[in-house]
Amino acid sequence: AQTVTQSQPEMSVQEAETVTLSCTYDTSESDYYLFWYKQPPSRQMILVIRQEAYKQQNATENRFSVNFQKAAKSFSLKISDSQLGDAAMYFCAYRSGETSGSRLTFGEGTQLTVNP
Amino acid sequence: NAGVTQTPKFQVLKTGQSMTLQCAQDMNHEYMSWYRQDPGMGLRLIHYSVGAGITDQGEVPNGYNVSRSTTEDFPLRLLSAAPSQTSVYFCASRVGFDTEAFFGQGTRLTVV
């Protein structure tokens, strides 16, 4: 079974600075997808960024980028120029590309605080 | 476009009561899922469906039932509520095998 681990329960960053959230996963599959979701106090789950395992290039979305290290099974999220609106719980998630179904396996989450 | 709609947003139940959490999507998505979110544990899959008439168990299915009679609706039934089912419940849907999931706004359930 796949597992996802986020070893940082809480992180803080100063506004306009850069922060990196860590995520590691365990799988024996070669075809899979990785995601970062943001959950603000409104509780809504918002997709931040997505990475396909077969792509060597790291995904980027505006101020958000990932460092995908397939051999190390690591998938960290970098937030540049942090804004107050980035404060939220962030979840790393894994989904198999080899089996059908709707299973997303989530990490425990990292609570990000942005200080003005 | 409403996306994924969950009702109710909040609910308090007494131990032993039953209830149904509703989930509807208007995007014609084949895949739908139910997750529960507990502190320090992320989201865990309860049940999922890959199309109307097809459902399967996820990681934590005990105490919950689902059915999928239409593409749009995927209700989650609690048969006899227990305090251990106090949680936030999320419904999610996606159109295909390799596409992103869209989440509803969640239902906060408290069982006393």
- Other beta carbons within 10 Å of A43: 17
Over range A78-85, report the average pLDDT.
98
How far is it, in rounded angstroms, from Cα B103 to Cα B79?
Answer: 24
Q: Which residues of B touch A45 (CB under 8 A)?
A: 43, 90, 92, 103, 106
Query: Could you give the C-alpha distances from A10 to A24, A110, B10, B60, in angstroms and in order?
Result: 16, 5, 27, 26
Query: 81-110 in A: which are within 8 Å (CB) of B?
Result: 91, 93, 97, 100-109
Q: Which residues of B touch A103 (CB under 8 A)?
A: 33, 45, 48, 58-59
pLDDT tens for residues A38-74? 999 999 999 999 999 999 899 999 999 999 999 999 9
pLDDT for position B112? 97
- Decide: residue B105, CB within 10 A, 0-12 exposed, 13-18 middle, 19+ buried: middle
Structure token digits, residue A103:
């299973």
Structure token digits, residue A53:
């395992």
Question: SS3 for B108?
Answer: strand
How far is it, in rounded angstroms, from Cα B56 to Cα B43?
Answer: 17
Q: Which residues of A touch B40 (CB under 8 A)?
A: 9, 108-109
pLDDT tens for residues B23-67? 999 999 999 999 999 988 889 999 999 999 999 999 999 999 999
Residue B42 has its nearest CB partner, among A47, A97, A107, at: A107
